[in-house]
Structures are given as structure tokens and as C-alpha cells.
């Protein structure tokens, strides 16, 4: 593994504009379970219950959604960045980070100190809530306080509209502006680092694929093999907290 880490570090050292793409694997090392892993939320809840059209059309579905979402938020709220998050911050401090595209909704890259204008949260964030009708924003803790007081399904106090965390649900459209910006960065970067993503969720996984197709050197650090491993210059299966530092911030 040492040779692979050195090879990856050399790629980063020679690169001018690096795109970093992170998935659930970087957050599990901060104590946030992957939804899909054993013991994750999808082993306790049926993902089919949380499709966007059900949330919109069914009060009971909204109640179940908030139950699940509150459970997830309780873990995210107090989670702290780990050495892998800090390694990406270090890459930005070196002046090499073009953009940080994340599938994660936990806000840990913000907590690690990466510039908000570098972070592209393509699946949104669980840390804020909006009205789907009038778009009025709410702090997540304010809504959690309502739920703790006995409210089963919170509604907008401005227009009575449906409130939802600012995350992308199954069946909900991806934010076009964020996807477009992420794909533009993928086409422009000269190196792309995938950290902790299985690369099976689309359209998100099309971003590192675009980078490879555009000629960027692809480095994949993940616990398990991914569908893009054959397109990568370096593939490392190991702990992100142990591996990313020597690669991004030697």
C-alpha cells in the first residue's frame, strides 16, 4: 500500500486543479453510519417509504419520514470531522482544490473548514429545512424542537406549506445548478480523488466518470471495489483517515 500512497501523492503534487468527490465512507469514520450498511437506517426503515412523491402526497409518509430523519440528524449533529476531512482542508490550503463534491448531507466538510464556495453538496444538507411551497428557510434545530414538543409533521408558519430538510430524496430531482457545476469541474480538473464512495448511485457517480473521460488522473480510496476501478490510475482499499493525509497533505 505504501507504493500506492506514494504514487497517488505524486499525482496530487504534480496536479494544479484537483476535484475531490466524497461519499458515505468518509463520514462513517466520524461515527455516522452509512444508510446502506448493516445497522444503517435502511436496515430499520424501508427506503421505498421515503420516495418524494409519497412524502408530498401522504401525511403518514411525512410522519414516518420525520421519524427517520430525526434519528439520522441526531447522529450528524454532534459528529466531528476526522483526519480524512482535515486532509481535504489541507489540500485547499495548498491551493490545489478546484472543488469538493460530496454526496454527504452531514455538513462535516464545512465543520472541517473548507470554504463554502468550494463545497458542492449534490444531495443537499440535513442541517437546514425549507418550505416546499414558499421556500421560507428554517434552522434544523428549530424544527427538531417542534418535533420534540409533540408535533408529528411540521408545517410552514408562513404559508402552511410542507416542510422538508434540504436534502434530495429518492425520486426528487437533483439540483441542476450543482450538478452542472460539478460536471464542469470534472471536465476541467487534472486529477480527481474519490474518497469513500461506492460509485453506484447515479447521477452522482457520473462526476468522477466525467473526470476520467476528460483525461484527469483518477485516484479511488474506498473500502470496497467500485465500478470505476478499471479507469483509475491508483486504487487503494483502506482507511480514509489513515490514507488521505499522506496523499493530499504529505
Instruction: Measure the CA dihedral 127/173/179/176, to 10°.
Output: -100
Give CA torsion, residues 194, 200, 206, 212, to 10 deg: 50
Q: Are 109 and 119 within 8 A, CB to CB?
A: yes
**Cα angle 212, 213, 218; round to 5:** 5
Helix (H) or strand (E) holding 56: helix 52-57
Active site annotation includes 85: no
Q: Which of 85, 109, 110, 123 is catalytic?
A: 123
DSSP character string of 100-158? EEE---S-HHHHTT--GGGEEETTEEEEEEEETTT--EEEHHHHHHHHHTT-SS-B-TT
User: Using an 8 Å Cβ cutoff, are 112 and 85 in contact?
Assistant: yes
Length of the chain: 250
User: Does residue 47 contact residue 54 with C-beta atoms inside 8 Å?
Assistant: no
Active site residues: 123
Amino acid at each position: 500500500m505504501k507504493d500506492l500512497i506514494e504514487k497517488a501523492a505524486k499525482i496530487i503534487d504534480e496536479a494544479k486543479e484537483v476535484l475531490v468527490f466524497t461519499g458515505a465512507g468518509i463520514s462513517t469514520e466520524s461515527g455516522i453510519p452509512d444508510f446502506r450498511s448493516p445497522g444503517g437506517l435502511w436496515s430499520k426503515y424501508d427506503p421505498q417509504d421515503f420516495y418524494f412523491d409519497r412524502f408530498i402526497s401522504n401525511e403518514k409518509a411525512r410522519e414516518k419520514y420525520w421519524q427517520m430523519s430525526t434519528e439520522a440528524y441526531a447522529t450528524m449533529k454532534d459528529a466531528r470531522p476526522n483526519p480524512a476531512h482535515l486532509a481535504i482542508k489541507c489540500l485547499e490550503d495548498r491551493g490545489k482544490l478546484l472543488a469538493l463534491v460530496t454526496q454527504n448531507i452531514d455538513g462535516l466538510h464545512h465543520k472541517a473548514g473548507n470554504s463554502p464556495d468550494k463545497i458542492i453538496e449534490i444531495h443537499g444538507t440535513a442541517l437546514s429545512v425549507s418550505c416546499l411551497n414558499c421556500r421560507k428557510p428554517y434552522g434544523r434545530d428549530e424544527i427538531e424542537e417542534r418535533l420534540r414538543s409533540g408535533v408529528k409533521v411540521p408545517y410552514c408558519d408562513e404559508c402552511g406549506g410542507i416542510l422538508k430538510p434540504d436534502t434530495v430524496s429518492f425520486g426528487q430531482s437533483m439540483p441542476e445548478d450543482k450538478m452542472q457545476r460539478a460536471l464542469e469541474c470534472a471536465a476541467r480538473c487534472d486529477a480527481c480523488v474519490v474518497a469513500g464512495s461506492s460509485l453506484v448511485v447515479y447521477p452522482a457517480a457520473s462526476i468522477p466518470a466525467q473526470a476520467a473521460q476528460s483525461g484527469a488522473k483518477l485516484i479511488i480510496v474506498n473500502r470496497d471495489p467500485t465500478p470505476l476501478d478499471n479507469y483509475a490510475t491508483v486504487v487503494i482499499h483502506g482507511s480514509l483517515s489513515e490514507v488521505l493525509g499522506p496523499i493530499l497533505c504529505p
